[in-house]
Amino acid sequence: MKEGSRQVEMSDEGLMTDDIEECLMVVIKALRKSNLPTDKALVWCSKMLDADRVKFICDRELASLRQHF
């Protein structure tokens, strides 16, 4: 997330956003189906949100994942 959001921040008009979100969605969908302990999933979500330099990459999806757990 840190490097991806950095790339979005540096690109004109956030053109990389869709590419970064597409990659993260694979992980988010896998976590939703996994049996990862709740505390670990919540920590991962928090780390992703904290590492997002632009503060909008997969923000709704990460919030939804938090609610799921």
What span, in angstroms and rounded, lies between the C-alpha atoms of 7 and 18? 12
Dihedral, 26, 29, 33, 39 alpha carbons, nearest 10: 100
Cβ atoms of residues 10 and 54 within 8 Å: no
pLDDT in tens, 14-25: 788 999 999 999
Q: What is the pLDDT of residues 17-67, one digit of tens each?
A: 999 999 999 999 999 999 999 999 999 999 999 999 999 999 999 999 999
